[in-house]
Amino acid sequence: MDKKIRFVLGLHSHQPVGNFEHVFAHGYQVSYLPFLETLAGFPRVKAALHYSGPLLEWLSDNRPDFFSLLSRLIGRGQVEIMGGGHYEPILPVISHEDRLGQLSYMSRQLKKKLGVTVRGAWLTERIWEPHLPRSLAAAGLEYVTVDDFHFLAAGFDLEKLHDYYLTEDERSVIAIFPISEQLRYLIPFREVEQVMDFFRAKAAALPPGSAVVLADDGEKFGMWPGTHDWVYRQGWLEKFFTALSENHDWLETATFSEVLDSAPAAGRVYLPTASYLEMGGWTLPPEAGERFHALHERLESDGSLGDFAPFLRGSFWRNFLVKYPESNWMHKRGSSLSRRIHRDLAGKAPNYNRLHEHLRLLWMSQCNCAYWHGIFGGLYLPHLRYALYNRLLESENLFLGRQKGPEAAMPAAEEWDLDLDGNPEVRLINQRVSLFIKPDSGGAIVELADRRTAFNLNDTLARRREAYHAQMAAGPKQGVESIGHATIHRRQFAEKIEASSFTYDPYPRYSLREHFFTSPPETPESAAALQPPDLGDFADSLFSHSLTRSARQVSLKLSRSGCVRVPGAPAVKLQLGKTIELAADSDEITVSYRLKNIDERSLEAFFAVSFNLTVLGPADPQVGWLTPETGPASLETGALLHSPTGITIFNRREGVNFSLAFQQPADRLIQYPVFTISQSESGIDRTYQASCLLPCWRMKLEPGSVGKCKLIMSLTPAKS
């Protein structure tokens, strides 16, 4: 072949902060190591490799020999190492200070570990926003990679994309390489000859010496379902590297830096906010997501998807923070702490060799995976959310420990719009306990943290509709690709989920929400199915509030005038007040209720308060529940208790017990586990998210009369 082109093979390998040890080890065994070992046998083949900070740290601690092989490949010019945000954050949604810090920290670590000077960055999930060049250039980086879809959205011609383009923001310039979507679906999922046909077509169409880029997940080479057998045991990767080596006279492999140094920019570009096509669909609300995927399938079936794909963009990553309030809360907690930390560090240049531990922990809490959900479990995986909260709370503990004067006084009560929804949140905190309350969401507790173990017991996730639930309910289709060595973006679910199995929560599963029933749920299963329905309008409504502070105690008073809808009769007006108190040096949080009938009709109903708590795995014998009247029992199944005086959720694994004590025994208490149904790379996941406690009291209120109720929550150490 007369015309010669270049191929840049870039791989990004990542495991999130807090992932299980066996997942790291499995990835190393089936993907990360065999890829390097195979590459070592083909000295003509070059690659650009990126390993995220969490993975690099695990490899350094557990598989140090990996770096010997990697260093050998670097030394012979076969591998270029890419940098990025060290703990794999979504760069556009963290502050410039954190972006610059994470990018610079990773470059310093790679220089120290491998002796390389990093020139380019892997952009997490290829999420681009136009202001990024400033931070990238300030960190000394020269290039990033994004999908060709980004360029198509800017009006470029797919057939003419090659090499790299320059963009800028406020005169900070960065080079951008377009990643071929066609190659993403070909490699390593199709026969090698099909991949080579693609390169032949590109060689015929592009100017001589042009570079074509694949930059994609390293886990596709052995860790995705079915790929280890396909890529290694059936020899796909060896066949591919053999083909590249045998055709080097017209298809030369190169690194990003080699292309950057040997070819001028193909042009200037200003890219819109974008990620890859699938991401745009995942960020949409479920109804819009269903329409998006239906349109995608229709255009694909009639052969016109290629013409319209640039205009079929869906939404963008930040809307996960709307779709999932739990994600938004984690994000805003982190951004608020980041602002306080950087204000404290103002004028002090970070020492990337001896980093402040509270800053490093903050960066760990910015690891992207548990903030969103698409094909992978992500936000739906409790152990990943736990890891983020744990690092965030540890960072905050260290930061607060540095404070002096009035800011260090405990207990404390703060009020500000932390989650930026236009309504203030309230925090009550002492040396042992921290809780955030949302007056605009039923006066509920959105975060309940044991500061000693840096564990957020209210780290839960609501059951909500997802666009793919309709596909699960429809069941497998004949003649459609299933999971194998095919890409997981184009596969069907192997089983059918009955539509009746899906229960959706009307609001996030916070704690301390108030409900009213004519009769309480008869079984844990009926309570989990939200039956009978709540007759009150208090659970997720706006409460007025006021704070009281003293040296010994802080308290929050909340109140709302609402109503209870009585079946077959007009609604009864009710005034509900609750006072939350936290004393200095105390494990206890006291909640006092006052219910006044402000109607002309009497009210007879069951008053209930819901608590949603996580234990990270209800089958573990280290966790469970018990009452003063009963012995320990598993949280894996539900329970119905009559006249309990309290209940304890014990968690010896995390080292904290949550106890509820009732001043007046509850008439009934229902405990039930909350499971979500979501998709993952392996198919359908049924995931434990929380255990709900629902104590109920029978109340009869005549016009003008008042009912009272008091309970005490406590967080105490638990021994393993």
Active site residue 396: no
Q: What number of other Cβ atoms are within 10 A of residue 107's Cβ?
A: 23
Catalytic position from the list 169, 217, 229, 505? 217
CA distance linking residue 429 with residue 397, whole number of Å: 11
CA distance linking residue 601 with residue 705, whole number of Å: 11
Q: Is 125 a catalytic residue?
A: yes
Please give the backbone phi and psi of residue 87, each rounded to the nearest 5 degrees, phi first. -95, 25
Secondary structure class of 366 (helix, strand, coil): coil
Residue 224's nearest CA partner among 423, 487, 482, 25 is 487
179-183: which pairs have CB atoms within 8 A and are 24 or more residues apart?
179/10, 179/126, 179/145, 179/146, 179/147, 179/148, 179/213, 179/214, 179/215, 179/216, 180/148, 180/212, 180/213, 180/214, 181/147, 181/148, 181/149, 181/276, 181/277, 183/212, 183/213, 183/214, 183/216
Which H or E run contains 226?
Answer: none
Q: What is the CA radius of gyration of the chain?
A: 28
d(CA 274, CA 181): 14
Bond from prior residue into 424 cis (ω within 30 degrees of 0): no
Distance separating alpha carbons of residues 627 and 645, to the nearest angstrom: 8
Answer positive or negative: Cα dihedral of 146, 151, 153, 157: negative
Question: Which three-class secondary structure state does DSSP give residue 245?
Answer: helix
Q: Considering the candidates 88, 97, 98, 125, report the single residue annotated as catalytic.
A: 125
Instruction: Please say whether the beta carbons of 120 and 257 come within 8 A.
Output: yes
Place of tokens 């069951």: 606
Which residues belong to the active site? 125, 217
